[in-house]
Amino acid sequence: MRIRPIRGAAVRLRAAGSCLLGAGLLLPLACHRTAPPPSVVLVLIDTLRPDYLGCYGFQGPVSPAVDRLASESVVFDRCVAPAPWTKPSVASLFTSLYPVNHGVVNHEGLWKRPDSGEVEKGVLGPSAVTLAEVLRDRGYRTGAFMANPWITPEYGFDQGFDRFDHRGFYPPAPQVLARAEAWLDSIPGDRPFFAYIHLMDVHGPYRAPPVHDAALSGSPTVQSDVQLTREEWEAIPEYLRKEAWTRGPGGRFVHTWRTRYAAGVRGVDDVLAGFLDRLRETGVLDRALLVLTADHGEELDEHGGWNHGATLYEEQLRVPLLIRPRGGAHPARHYPGLVSLLDVMPTLVSRAGGGVPPAAAGENLVSVLDGGTVEEGRVLLAMATTTGPEWIALRAGDYKLIRNQATGETRVFDLAADPGERANLADRRPDLARRLTEALGERMGDAQQAGLFEPAGQPPSKETRALLRSLGYTN
């Protein structure tokens, strides 16, 4: 093996496994090599609440595969989604932009007002730089494997992907993962890749086989003595009442609904176990950086409602975030700082050796992966409910503000003392409410100054509208 001449002199390698540095100093050959950028596997489980995972405190056999992954990862205990439903949240995940910046906030015109100017369909515009685009520019092969009808080329989410697989109606995890595995097998071993995998098996209607119900029904997480009246049962979104079990005797008990949701988590965990085992066996897991997260949570009667998208309470905004660095985290740990889905894009781009787009609103979490921390005192926003753009939430440490910017209605919570968001402190602590409201105004002003990356807009196809209607997204 030869190396380039230094100062005009022909220099040859003196011994196998060593290299020459400066004037005659021999060091291991690795001094000439830099580690190749890690491949990236990003698994998003739609509608997954962190408190329904063992590594976040669920008591019971709900997620052994994810828990094993957590034992090799940095687990972020307080991760906030920027929106409580899929389309704006995944747009933010891909771009590290708040919904107020990427503009993908409308819900198929379902709540369209004549004077709103809202188009029938919001599309992620080409001016927004996506994670896949940045990684592809770095030489990555990029592939996406989808089960959610929002996350399609029709909505602009294919930007930067060499392969964008979104076949079938609500395809189950085994089908989606099989297609992802086949694509991974086709990539040369020396080529970095980015695989985005979006699974829908936890999403309603909760149709997982009841094989896990008995083991999960005793968990304190699912316990509730609430029996729904007929009117309360009928108020549950119709698409969630499709399954036969919802019309039986158990369908009137909140405990049953929560158990069925947990069974969906266990079901997708079973499928993930095989996928992760194959990544281990092939060596991909130790060459890649693996992320597991969700786009939003799910309300299971915590505030008298169901489903997701309509409110900014924690059951809809708090999501899991596990990042397993290449080779695993040593040691694995839980990180208690406040983070956001906005942070995923700059973190992965930085690990890949790329430049983070200047418009990115998220923080680079690489220092946390390396054992450190990020700056304390972060202030985070959440917005874009399906019921109206006026509602905005702000997180500042343990405090949370939910405010209607049109009416001034204000809710303030101390999440350390009141994690269930039961006690509104707005009247009892007016100074705190005022400070949080001022911080919200400043933070929204900063975000709005960053400008809007123009979304495209057009009516959705008949096929797309029919699909979304079947999933409860539109009337």
Higher pLDDT, 375 or 74: 74
Of 1-10, 186-195, 231-240, the one with minimum mean pLDDT is 1-10
Q: Are 337 and 374 in contact (CB under 8 A)?
A: yes
For residue 95, which of 121, 122, 133, 123 has the smallest C-alpha distance?
133
Burial of 195 (0-12, 13-18, 19+ CB in 10 A): buried
- Residue 287 to residue 192: CA distance in whole angstroms: 9
Q: Is the pLDDT of residue 207 over 90?
A: yes
- Evaluate whether residue 405 is within a structural domain: no
What is the SS3 assignment for 460?
coil
**For the purposes of burial, counting CB atoms within 10 Å of the CB of 358, is it exposed (0-12), middle (13-18) or buried (19 or more)?**
exposed
Considering the domain boundaries, does residue 120 fall inside one?
yes
* Residue with the larger pLDDT of the pair 449 and 396: 396
pTM above 0.85, yes or no: yes
- Residue 8 clears pLDDT 80, i.e. is over it: no
In terms of residue numbers, what domain contains 86?
Answer: 40-378
Residue 165 is assigned to a structural domain of this protein: yes
Determine phi and psi for 347, rounding to 5 degrees. Answer: -65, -45
Please state, in angstroms and as integers, the Cα–Cα distance from residue 299 to each residue in 54, 318, 383, following that order: 19, 11, 16
Indicate the average pLDDT of the chain: 88
Which residues are within 8 A (CB) of 207 and not within 5 positions of it... i.e. 6 or more apart?
242, 243, 264
Provide the pLDDT for residue 105: 85
Query: 385 lies in a domain?
Result: no
Q: Please report whether residue 16 resides in a domain.
A: no
Mean pLDDT of 404-429: 97
Domain assignment present for residue 233? The answer is yes
Q: Could you tell me the two tokens for 319?
A: 């999501």
466 belongs to a structural domain: no
User: Domain count of the chain?
Assistant: 1
How confident is the model at residue 149, as a pLDDT? 85
User: Given this model, what pLDDT does residue 390 score?
Assistant: 93
Q: Residue 434 falls within a domain, yes or no?
A: no
pLDDT digits (tens, 9 = 90+) for 176-196: 999 999 999 999 988 999 999
Please tell me the predicted confidence (pLDDT) of residue 374: 87
Per-residue pLDDT at 283: 94
Average pLDDT on 378-394 reads: 93
Q: Which secondary-structure segment (H or E) carries 26?
A: strand 25-28
pLDDT digits (tens, 9 = 90+) for 82-131: 999 999 999 999 999 999 999 888 766 554 455 555 445 678 988 899 99
Which CATH number fits the domain that encloses residue 227? 3.40.720.10
